Structure 1
Amino acid sequence: MPWFPVTTALSSVVALLAVGNLATNWLDVYLVFFGEQPEIDPANIAAYRLWGAIALAALLCGAIAHMLNPDRRMLGTFWQGLVITVGTAMVLLCYIPGAVDLPAPEGEEDGGYRAPPCYSGGDNDECVGG
């Protein structure tokens, strides 16, 4: 199949472009000067989600096309391994907080009123409830 090498090369290029855009987005958020706090815009979160999905899809497509290619070479296998490793690492390292919706940890639900402990030294006038 002549389209296996083309698909592998094209997906590598797309993955590298997506990783570059992820790095640029990360720098847009975290490159601040003189102790300023980074501000995360919703556009940065949307850009991370978009380029992260494109990068992961391109990495997966390139790996599958390379593995299905019966004429694959050792250099191509090394290149795909390098692209997959670097691409996955960059998707994880360029994470923007808030980009992935994680469930909130469940807190204790306190259904009743709890009085603070009373240490009045024997006088019940200072304790709640007498």
Structure 2
Amino acid sequence: MPRAAKNTKSSDDAGIMAVVAKQMQSSWEKKRKEKEAKYFTNAEAVLEQCVTSGREEYLEAMADMNAAYEQFVQDYAVVEDEIRKLLLQLGREQQKMRDLAESKHTQMVDSEKARERGQVQGMATAKKAMEDFHRFSNMLRQLE
């Protein structure tokens, strides 16, 4: 009988060992699941932190770009105003030049007309003088 008791004892030991092994496996499974849950929680937190950080960097970059664009638009408007001012000034100067050129042209035409009249008068005076000279010389010849 001792053999049967030993056999029973071994089967009890095997049963206990199976229960202990099952508990250990269950404990390991539980620890593994806890580690996985902790890992995923940490990974989710890190990912959320990265997303938040990336979002903040993106928003800062967008704000910087918008500020730079607004500064560009303001600078561009100032330059455009300066160009417009210079073009208006240039237009006024061109108008002055046209008026001056017109005035000079009118003066030249009037001067040319006066010169022509003077020449015509001079030629008329010269012609009359020549006619008077011829008449005078004819008179002198007749007196001779």
TM-score with structure 1 setting the length: 0.25
Q: Which protein has the bigger helix share? A: 2
TM-score with structure 2 setting the length: 0.23
Over alpha carbons, which structure has the higher Rg?
Answer: 2
